[in-house]
């Protein structure tokens, strides 16, 4: 009898599970239940459609309905799962045809995340938005066409990308930053430089405050209340974080961890037999120090999904440890990070040694090089690299990818400092920026050791 695989949700994790299961079992009956009408698409691309860089929301489809059919995967859109009955191994869902039950041998609950919207007066007014789905993007784009001013509440990945989209659409844009920009991704020094960059590109920034209320007239937004002061606006984008969706899982007896996500083992299985998960609702372990963590990155969700799909059809596999390699681009500036930030390290009892250097992407004598800032963090005792941050107009992805491998392989600053990097004047300097930073950090360790001697 063919193995029955049921997946709830067709985002990055859900789709990866479905196609991984199909690659490893050509006979399995695979069904994907998705409450929205869309096939799999890139959520990360939504701000760039609003901005106008990508032509339409249809363009960002990753796996079409036709592709699901070609892989003999039954994608059911408009299906809202109401409960899971683990003892009977069945899923109860509703669609246009009423309530139905679906039996499974292995089940994946890739329920994703949902925007955290602070409870405040006026948050239900016309003109207050979150951005998580194509439908959200379509509503924002329609509003932008008739707006002159916007307020973005929050300075996360999505918040800053939305702010840039608004500016490029010609809106007078204010970003309200409770703490600092990209706090979970970069250190305070990089945040300050990023904030100055955003201001230079016509973003107004209000730091150390939050949107406390939204006021309107005739049911529509007219201002955001920030620190007791009204900022006139035509729309407000709430970009204040993502909460894992766990209601169905919790009712089914799945253990929920300290981060609010579903606890998984290395196979991406939950504590309930034959129920798996991945992505924004999965509490995994950070590759460094092993503390509970929800990544929220599509790259991590995809890899988790591949592993879950293999295990669901009986092919044993372990999910790789993740180090949260991330990158974004704002007004031409690339910002990348991997591993621990100083804040995250200190939250878990580690005070890392660090260094920040400025270099050039090309030799000083060759035209066209750009300044590049590299920050490295290392364990104070083992001298192994534990984190890195990079900012420049170019070469950031390859630098971060190199540093990600260095961290994953447990390299020390000294080992990275003498790594065999390539060189040619039109392409790269004889000393790569990552190596220059590692040399500085290694000297810092040496000086510290001499002081102790």
Contact status, residue 273 vs residue 255, Cβ threshold 8 Å:
no
Pairing type for strands 113-115 and 106-109 reads unpaired
* Residue 8 tokens, joined: 């709830």
Cα separation, 436 vs 154, in Å, equals 34
**Angle between helix 134-144 and helix 157-168 axes, rounded to 10 deg:** 30
SS3 443: helix
The length of the chain, given as a count of residues: 453
Contact status, residue 289 vs residue 310, Cβ threshold 8 Å:
no
Q: Which DSSP letter does residue 320 get?
A: P
The residue to which tokens 């002081």 are assigned:
451
Four-residue CA torsion sign, 148, 152, 156, 159: negative
SS3 122: coil
123 in catalytic set: no
Cα separation, 16 vs 343, in Å, equals 32
Catalytic residue among 44, 203, 239, 281: 44
Q: Please identify every residue annotated as catalytic.
A: 44
């Amino acid at each position: 009898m063919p193995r029955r695989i049921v997946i709830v949700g067709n985002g990055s994790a859900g789709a990866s599970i479905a196609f991984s299961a199909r690659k490893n079992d050509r006979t399995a009956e695979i069904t994907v239940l998705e409450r929205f009408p869309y096939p799999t698409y890139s959520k990360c691309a939504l701000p760039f459609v609003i901005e106008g860089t990508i032509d339409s929301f249809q363009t960002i489809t990753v796996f079409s309905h036709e592709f699901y059919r070609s892989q003999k995967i039954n994608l059911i859109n408009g299906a809202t799962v109401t409960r899971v009955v683990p003892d009977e191994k069945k899923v109860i869902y509703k669609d246009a045809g009423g309530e139905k039950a679906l039996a499974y041998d292995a089940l994946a609950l890739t329920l994703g995340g949902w925007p955290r919207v602070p409870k405040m007066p006026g948050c239900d007014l016309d003109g207050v938005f979150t951005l998580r789905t194509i439908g959200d993007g379509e509503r924002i784009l329609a509003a932008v066409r008739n707006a002159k001013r916007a307020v973005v509440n929050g300075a996360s990945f999505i918040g800053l990308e939305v702010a840039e989209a608004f500016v490029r659409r010609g809106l007078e844009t204010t970003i309200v930053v409770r703490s600092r920009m990209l706090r979970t991704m970069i250190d305070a020094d990089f945040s300050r430089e990023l904030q100055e960059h955003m201001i230079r590109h016509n973003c107004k920034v209000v730091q150390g405050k939050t949107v406390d209320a939204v006021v309107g007239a005739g049911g529509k937004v007219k201002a955001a209340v920030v620190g007791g002061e009204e900022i006139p606006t035509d729309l407000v984008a709430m970009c204040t974080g993502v909460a894992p969706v766990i209601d169905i899982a919790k009712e089914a007896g799945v253990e929920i961890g300290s981060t609010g996500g579903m606890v998984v083992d290395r196979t991406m299985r939950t504590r309930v037999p034959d129920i798996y998960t991945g992505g924004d609702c999965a509490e995994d372990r950070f590759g460094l120090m092993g503390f509970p963590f929800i990544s929220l990155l599509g790259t991590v969700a995809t890899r988790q999904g591949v592993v879950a799909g293999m295990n669901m059809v009986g092919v044993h596999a372990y999910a790789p440890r993740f180090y949260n390699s991330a990158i974004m681009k704002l007004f031409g500036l690339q910002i990348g990070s991997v591993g621990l930030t100083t804040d995250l390290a200190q939250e878990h009892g580690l005070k890392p040694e660090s260094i920040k250097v400025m270099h050039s992407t090309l030799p000083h004598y060759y035209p066209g090089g750009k300044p590049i800032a590299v920050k490295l963090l290392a364990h104070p005792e083992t001298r192994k690299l534990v984190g890195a941050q990079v900012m420049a107009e170019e070469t950031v992805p390859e630098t971060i990818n190199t540093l990600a491998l260095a961290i994953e392989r447990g390299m020390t600053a000294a080992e990275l400092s003498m790594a065999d990097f390539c060189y040619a004047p039109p392409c790269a300097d004889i000393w790569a920026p990552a190596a220059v930073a590692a040399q500085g950090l290694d000297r810092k360790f040496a000086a510290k050791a001499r002081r102790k001697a």
